[in-house]
Amino acid sequence: MSRILVVDDELAIQRLVSAVLARDGHAAVVVGTARAALAEIDRLAPDAAIIDLGLPDRDGLELIAAMRSRLSIPMLVLSARDATSEKIAALDLGADDYVTKPFDGDELLARLRSALRRAGAAPARDAVVRHKGIAVDRGRHKVSMDGRDIALTPREFAVLAALVEAGGRVLTHGAILERVWGRAHVGDVEYLRIVIRALRLKLEIDPSQPLLIRNEPGIGYRMGG
Amino acid sequence: MRRAGLLRDYAIAAATVAAVTVATLHWPGTLGLPSAALLLLLPVLLVSARGGIGPSLFAAAAAALAYNFFLLPPQFTLRIHGADNAVSFIVLFAVALVTSRLATALKARERQAQQEAQASAETAKLAALMSGQEDLNAALAKGLVFIEGRQGATRIVSREAMPKDDPAFGPLDLSAAAWAIHNGDMAGHGTNIFPSADWTFLPLGQRGAADVDVVAVARPLQGTRPPPGALRAQVALLAQTRDRLILQEERRERRMLEERDTLRRTLIASLAHDFRSPVTVLRGELEALRLESPAADRALAQAQRLSRKMDDLIGIARIEGGAVRPAPEPVDLVDVVTGALEASGAATAELRIARHVAADLPLVSADPVLLRHVLINLIDNAARHARAMIGIAADEGRGSVVLTVTDDGPGIPEGEEEAIFDRFVRLEGSDRSGGSGLGLAIVKGFCQAMDIDVQASTRASGGACFTLTFPVFGATPS
């Protein structure tokens, strides 16, 4: 269905990821180095990329930044590095999502699907963006759920709009805080926590077992699928 | 030597006064009294310039008496007639006195300057000796030998062990030593503190810094020590050298520790990577095979368990290596509990989960990634011991939030509530299936790193209860 660039130097992982991608009908194009990846992207024109961080010639974070400056395709990080700081760095440099090894094949495919869906959708020009039953009307600053209007404060609206626009993609705490509160408040995670709570109280069926707004520990939030 | 010199000065004083008197008496022609008085000043000046207050005063007195007796009318009596005569007598005496004082002070200053120059030359010599030293003990030994050669026997008195049994030190010396150690200033012989002690004690550290080791220098066998400035400077130099070498040593040790730390971190990181990659492949391949064979499904479950154990092993390595660096942030327990329960899905599939975590609890301060690992391990542990149910509940306490993970299993044997957190402890009778013995050790290690209190107990109804007590996150957002 889609052509996916896989950047990983380990043969066994290359084969495994190719096999997993084949389950969803994707064609994997495998390269082992960052240099090869950069040399090939123009010719290959992939629909998405899956990138390991521990590459032999360059750090994967550098590759992400270099690729993001040239392409707008979805990029997923697939790495054995599980430090929170690395995940945040990858996301802030332009990666769309992050999966740690050992990974679940189905999870990788689901994340890839969500990233491709978002990339394929017309750039969110419409006034109304949707996720599941939630409709966020950016023109009129209104939110409805299953047709029922929901009253939100301006901050709640802004946070929800950011998450819904991102689809299932994870947004880092810093990214949301900067967009909604401004650069000065990038470190004030508690502001965000309080607003997320308020949103859950208004949107979730059981706010103590949230399904819609999901937390990635130490990293950020995403809309649940 | 000095005594002979002094006698000679007195003799000179007497002789010159006599000579001038005789010369004045036999002056050809007539000499006025004022001129005679001026002439008599000469021997006083001469003797004063040689120094010594005694001979100078003697010369002044002798000159005044000679003037009075031989020259002032009435001659050959000590009586004085007339105001003029009285004035010239008094002035003669006063001039003699002042001149001798001035000359003596000048001499003393000269001698002092000489001593100081000598002392600073000595100190410079010691400084040169010390600057080349790299070994602490050798440097101190050399420095003490240097001082010993010039000032008298030396010892080092440690601030930790007073030399009570050393016969060289009397009770007064010990008191002086204690004072010097406590106040960081010199005491004993040659100072104002315990001056009658037999030793001088000088702090081996910054001046005024209390509780330092001191250097003891014995009082000279004869006479008293010259002013202790030079000695103080030399001991200060020793102290400086000691501080420098200790600092050097600390720096070297720190560098070594840092290198070891880096090595350890690299090892843990590569350990993680080297294990994760093969397990990833294993899991992936089994996942693909699962559709065809039930054996692959069972193997996959084991591969998943293996990767959980691997995380535990890496976690323990991080705790052991001191590589756990929590990054606390305000955390919503709803998030952590939800995430941990999802991650433990397979282990808890057949159990009922009673979950009471209100959505409006205060935020707690914790590292969300470490806390997630802690909760997964507690849930995993509960799942292995529970018969039918696991409970997860959070409550607000006084300035804290308390989270409990409970099960309806056999509970924790009495007296084992602490030991259960030790590594590789699997309590007898309570171990039904495959705990690594690391899970609870990680719980304890991570909680300690995050300043979260963790306790194990047995509930009244039986079954184990693990209690985490969190500090509430401080600030309330606007």
Distance from the Cα of A49 to chain B's closest Cα (Å) equals 19
Whether the bond between B203 and the residue before it is cis, its omega within 30 degrees of 0, is no
Token match 């300043």: residue?
B451
Q: Which residues pair with B154 in a beta bridge?
A: B217
Nearest to A215 among B282, B339, B367 (CB): B339
Kind and range of the H or E run holding B329: strand B329-331
Task: Please name the residue of chain B whose CA is at the shortest distance from the CA of residue A190.
Answer: B330
The confidence score (pLDDT) of residue B435 equals 59
Domain with CATH 3.40.50.2300 in chain A: 3-120
CATH number attached to the domain at A128-223 = 1.10.10.10
Distance CA B91, CA B36 (A): 13
A126 close contact with B: CB closer than 8 A: no
The confidence score (pLDDT) of residue B434 equals 52
CATH number attached to the domain at B252-320 = 1.10.287
Whether residue B334 and residue A103 make contact (CB cut-off 8 A), yes or no, is no
Q: Please compute the mean of the pLDDT values over residues B365-371 and round it to a whole number.
A: 92
| Residue boundaries of the structural domains of chain B | 2-115, 135-245, 252-320, 329-471
pLDDT digits (tens, 9 = 90+) for B35-46: 887 888 888 888
| B313 contacts in chain A (CB < 8 Å) | none
Which of B73-87, B132-146, B414-428 reaches the highest mean pLDDT? B132-146
A105 close contact with B: CB closer than 8 A: yes
A132 close contact with B: CB closer than 8 A: no
Nearest to B338 among A81, A82, A209 (CB): A209
Q: At residue A123, does pLDDT exceed 80?
A: no
A181 close contact with B: CB closer than 8 A: no
CA dihedral B338, B341, B346, B351 (to 10 degrees): -120
Distance from the Cα of B475 to chain A's closest Cα (Å) equals 8
Q: At residue B478, does pLDDT exceed 70?
A: no
The confidence score (pLDDT) of residue B227 equals 63
Find the distance separating the first CA and the last CA of chain A, reported in whole Å: 22
The confidence score (pLDDT) of residue B17 equals 86
| B393 contacts in chain A (CB < 8 Å) | none
Nearest to A12 among B281, B371, B473 (CB): B281
Lowest-confidence range among A138-147, A150-159, B179-188, B218-227?
A: B218-227
Whether residue B355 and residue A200 make contact (CB cut-off 8 A), yes or no, is no
Q: Please compute the mean of the pLDDT values over residues B225-231 and round it to a whole number.
A: 70
Q: At residue B474, does pLDDT exceed 90?
A: no
pLDDT digits (tens, 9 = 90+) for A184-221: 998 899 999 999 999 999 999 999 899 999 999 989 99
Give me the count of residues in chain B: 478
| A80 contacts in chain B (CB < 8 Å) | 272-273, 276-277, 280
Both tokens of B332, joined, read 């919503």
pLDDT digits (tens, 9 = 90+) for A154-187: 999 999 999 998 888 889 999 999 999 999 998 8
Q: At residue B191, does pLDDT exceed 60?
A: yes
Domain B252-320 and domain B329-471, same fold? Reply is no
Distance CA B215, CA B193 (A): 16
Q: Please compute the mean of the pLDDT values over residues B308-321 and round it to a whole number.
A: 80
A58 close contact with B: CB closer than 8 A: no
- CATH superfamily entry for domain B135-245: GAF domain (3.30.450.40)
CATH fold label, A3-120 = Rossmann fold (3.40.50)
Distance from the Cα of B281 to chain A's closest Cα (Å) equals 6
The confidence score (pLDDT) of residue A130 equals 85
Per CATH, the architecture of B329-471 is what? Answer: 2-Layer Sandwich (3.30)
3-state secondary structure of A150: strand
Q: How confident is the model at residue A72 (pLDDT cuts 50, 70, 90)?
A: confident
Average pLDDT, chain B: 83
Lowest-confidence range among B225-229, B299-303, B395-399?
A: B225-229
Distance CA B435, CA B420 (A): 12
Q: At residue B59, does pLDDT exceed 90?
A: no
The confidence score (pLDDT) of residue B307 equals 83
| DSSP structure string for B193-219 | SSTTSSEEEEESSSTT-SS--EEEEEP
| B330 contacts in chain A (CB < 8 Å) | 189-190, 193
The confidence score (pLDDT) of residue B129 equals 85
The confidence score (pLDDT) of residue B72 equals 75
